[in-house]
Amino acid sequence: MRLDQRLIAGMIRPRTRVLDVGSGDGALLDYLFRNSGCDARGIEIDMREVTRSVAHGLPVMHGDADHDLVHYPDNAFDYVVLQRTLQAVERPREVLRQMLRIGRYAIVSFPNFGHWRLRMQLLLRGRMPMTSVWSTPWYDTPNIHPCTILDFLTLCRDEGYVVQQWMAVDEDGERAPWRRSIRLANLFGEQALFLLRRKDAPR
């Protein structure tokens, strides 16, 4: 399991209901079931990963964040997780709304477009940035909605979500040291990880 998935797992209370949107190889689901006794389920767009997960006994269904969350009832889950995918969905704002409709908490991670290397490349070279995190050229990238940590915070404020916890994470998933200053995190954090809750959800 990636290090940032350990951080995510650490945000999830034991024996809760979890939906992992974009569950990939199912590592987080497996961990949550075995170590936290969670009722953890997944949605995954890549059919090979779905087959692999189900073949490991994990409950995963083929689907995606844009089209399948809408079919779940309100409050079906305690946590809905979206890992490193928000920037690639068709309608990020709607996906967040759905996540916080069907779950009381949303855990969202995304690559931070405000990182200094991206800013510098664009400033100095005048070309779309290419880094290890943003590694595909503009014409091939699935990342159609990149945002910075500050952008995301603004959206949360506009939508009325409470940021219960946030952290900057580097590419390997290690927690970055920028814990106090959002501005520094926005400059030096490669990935961001947020725990959101609805206003009516208990702390």
Partner 1 sequence: MDQTNPVTPLSHQHVTFPDGLQLDCGFHLAPVDVAYRTYGTLSPARDNAILVCHALTGDQYVADPHPLTGKPGWWGRMVGPGLPIDTDRFFVICVNVLGGCMGTTGPRSLRVREDGTEEPWGTDFPAITIRDMVRAQHLLVEHMGITRLLAVVGGSMGGMQVLEWCATYPEQVFAAMPIATSPFHSAQNIAFNEVSRQAIFADPQWHGGRYWECNEIPARGLAVARMMAHITYLSEAALTRKFGRRVRTTPGRGATGGPGSLFGEMFEVESYLRHQGSTFVRRFDANSYLTITRAMDYFDLGAEHDGDMSRPFRGTPTRFCIISFSSDWLFPTSQARLLARALNQVAANVSFVEIDSDKGHDAFLLDEPDFDRTIRGFLCGAAEHAGIG
**Residue 51: which residues within 8 A CB-CB, separation 6 or more?**
none
CA angle 198, 143, 3 (to 5 degrees): 65
- For partner 1, the closer CB: 104 or 115: 104
Dihedral sign computed on CA atoms, order 85, 90, 95, 98: negative
Q: What are the residues facing 108 on neighbouring strands?
A: 82, 194
In the complex, minimum distance from the CB of residue 59 to partner 1, in angstroms, rounded to a whole number: 5
In the complex, minimum distance from the CB of residue 56 to partner 1, in angstroms, rounded to a whole number: 6
Cα-flanking dihedrals φ and ψ of residue 152, to 5°? -65, -40
- For partner 1, the closer CB: 4 or 30: 30
In the complex, minimum distance from the CB of residue 103 to partner 1, in angstroms, rounded to a whole number: 11
- For partner 1, the closer CB: 48 or 180: 48
In the complex, minimum distance from the CB of residue 61 to partner 1, in angstroms, rounded to a whole number: 4
Cα-flanking dihedrals φ and ψ of residue 92, to 5°? -55, -40
Residues that bind partner 1 (CB under 8 A): 39, 41, 47, 50-51, 53-63, 68, 71-73, 76-77
Say how far apart CA 145 and CA 96 lie, in whole Å.
13
Hunting for tokens 């998933």 — which residue is that?
173
In the complex, minimum distance from the CB of residue 102 to partner 1, in angstroms, rounded to a whole number: 8
In the complex, minimum distance from the CB of residue 183 to partner 1, in angstroms, rounded to a whole number: 40
- For partner 1, the closer CB: 76 or 162: 76
- For partner 1, the closer CB: 60 or 156: 60
**Residue 58: which residues within 8 A CB-CB, separation 6 or more?**
23, 26, 29, 30, 33, 40, 42
- For partner 1, the closer CB: 60 or 81: 60
